Amino acid sequence: MSDKYNDAIAKSVVLEDDAAVASAVEKILTEHFEENNNIDVYKFLFNTIDLTTLKATDSPVSVSNFVERVNAFDEEYPMLNNVAAICVYPNFAGVVSTVLDVTGVDIACVSGGFPSSQTFNEVKIAETALAVENGANEIDIVLNVGNFLDGDYEAVCDEIIEQKAACRDARLKVILETGALKTAKNIKAASVLSMFSGCDFLKTSTGKEYPGASLEAAYVMAKCIKEYYEQTGVKVGFKAAGGVSTTEDAVKYYTIIKEVLGEEWLSNDYFRIGASRLANNLLSDILGEEVKFF
């Protein structure tokens, strides 16, 4: 059946053959990884991190302490740019907003029934609106994967549009949960629908129930972002999350984004990595000694 959702997907010429995607990723990394595997890139990558705590044991005290480490980073490492954002559950937006002293670090909250997106739409909207009201300027929501796999694209898009409205001036990242979507074809369709619905960022994964980020998913998403930009002039960001913990991993994602999207996307306005362990690993490789700062 022809409708605006399927029409938008059908217009995309982004590669959706899984073997061809894997081959394209391998070629990029073989040709370009080593040129990017250096301290200057490590420093850039550190400044793209959404430093994340999403644990059942999070509390006002633990989150305050988490934020204080980010505050302290500016004093202890003045030669380095800080992380891009602190990412927490929405009920801690006010804690981060109160404790965060340094400039240039955004406040990101997961929202909308994270990580499953399984709750009433009214609850999702309220959660997002409350997070923004309490200081969040970035919101990470999960695509309704169940509706997507059922082919109910209208419901998928309506949710994103409503959440975007609830964000007001905050930026909206849509998590595709690529490990559940599995195929390049699904990842492409989900990317198109999310951008069609006004998201500001495409994000790979929650890092919870399903496999996390993959380079193949990143490649497809980046190609969709490039195509969308060429069609509309709108730049959508990319965020890798879920299992990106080593410096080598981070450099690989950097390499994919650099080769597919170009230098314009190499700022933390358009490129992010969601991580908890990566910060210390990058810091150690930048400084040449083991560091456990965070």
Q: Could you give the residue numbers annotated as active site? A: 140, 203, 239
Answer for the pair 214, 178: CB distance below 8 angstroms, yes or no. yes
Structure tokens at 183: 């195929």
For Cα atoms 106, 111, 115, give the angle at the middle one, nearest 5 degrees.
115
The SS3 assignment for 185 reads helix
**H or E element that contains 233:** none
Residue 49 pairs with which residues in a beta bridge?
273
Answer for the pair 204, 230: CB distance below 8 angstroms, yes or no. no
- CA dist., res. 266 & res. 171, Å (int): 18
Q: Can you list the alpha helix ranges (DSSP code H) found in the chain? A: 4-11, 18-36, 39-46, 60-76, 93-99, 121-133, 145-150, 153-167, 178-181, 184-196, 215-232, 247-261, 278-287
- CA dist., res. 148 & res. 195, Å (int): 14
Nearest to 51 by CA among 278, 285, 282: 278
